[in-house]
A and B are shown apart, each in its own frame.
Chain A
Amino acid sequence: MEHSHEEIKKHVRKYIFVFVALMALTVITVVVSYLHLTITTAVIVALFIATIKGSLVAAYFMHLISEKKVIYITLLFTVFFFIGLIVLTMTAFHDQVMIPHVS
């Protein structure tokens, strides 16, 4: 990667901004957990905040916001298989469980 001194300084300012955002979101997610919301609402809120935090880390610290095509393609496959992994596992709920007949 070719970056000028000035560009890197700009990056550093972004990193500090992301750091502050991550800290704020951590506080929010902990405070929300003390409200003891219903489990469905709590899961949605917690995972929503975690996804924002995760995206910030991936986009800025891992430089995904400006990466080469080959990395995006790799991650597209990863997302596909990751979703497949979850969905296929969850279908287990529809399995017909055979309970042995005890006489």
Chain B
Amino acid sequence: MQIPHTIEHHPETGLYNAKVGIWLFLASEVMLFGALFTSYILLRIGAPTWPHGWEELNIPLATVNTVVLIASSVTMVMSWASLMMKDFKKYKMYMGITVLCGLIFLVIKAFEYGAKFEHHHFPSTNNFFATYFTLTGLHGLHVIGGIIVNAYFWGPGSKMWKTEPQRFINRIEVAGLYWHFVDLVWIFLFPSLYLL
């Protein structure tokens, strides 16, 4: 069976279907993170005392992670632009860097978590750490998901470039939209958790 509108635009939307699909998914993701973020605000305002993020968390590590994730967003969009300019070699390079940046982010996050556990700071310690682990943990799972998809498109999935180039470009655009969203979530998590 042929999947409809993978390349040609749907007459109703003027877009290929996957793009509408990913945006609907991202809309649901806004609600997911939004619910947790709202819980954080409510818990924090309602608490008699709440530690400053910079007292408990490692700002230099988180800043490096912010830079890494933003850089990966740029390389992601560059990988799409490379395909648009029909430069498959550059695509491979940029997508490779994107996956690598995702992995670096996770390694740094693991060090951060490790340091917290060493100091006996767990999600059960208090509401601050419960919020910290829930939000960064869920975000981390999203990074893992993105890495798996991007690694597939860097490796075996890239065969499609030879058979259906436009469909492959669309796939990279959709994977990119997800990856940028993960970056966007971090842009808000970083100041709210670490800097306030």
Binding site for B on A (CB under 8 A): 3, 5, 8-9, 11-12, 15-16, 18-19, 22-23, 26, 29-30, 32-34, 39, 42-43, 46-47, 49-50, 53-54, 57-58, 60-62, 68-71, 74-75, 77-78, 81-82, 85-86, 89-90, 92-93
Contacts and interface: CB of A to CB of B under 8 A. Distances in A.
Contacts of B127: none
Given A78-B30, A90-B41, 18 more contacts: A15-B77, A22-B70, A26-B66, A33-B191, A47-B188, A47-B192, A50-B187, A57-B183, A58-B180, A61-B176, A62-B176, A62-B180, A74-B20, A75-B23, A81-B31, A89-B42, A93-B42, A93-B46
A24 B38 CA distance: 28
Given A43-B196, A50-B188, A68-B13, A33 B34 contact: no
B15 interface: yes
Contacts of B190: 29, 50
B93 interface: no
B23 A57 contact: no
B161 interface: no
A89 B38 contact: yes
Given A61-B180, A68-B14, A82 B54 contact: no
Instruction: Report the interface size class on chain B.
Output: 35 or more
B184 interface: yes
A93 B42 CA distance: 8
Contact of B35 (A26, A61, A85): A85
A62 B71 contact: no
Interface stretch (B78-86, B105-113, B118-126, B131-139): B78-86
Contacts of A54: 184, 187-188
Contact of B27 (A8, A46, A78): A78
A12 B196 contact: no
B180 A57 contact: yes
Which interface residue of B46, B63, B71, B74 has the most chain A CB atoms within 10 A? Answer: B74
Contacts of A62: 176-177, 180-181
Contact of B195 (A30, A75, A82): A30
A1 to B, nearest CB: 8
B87 to A, nearest CB: 10
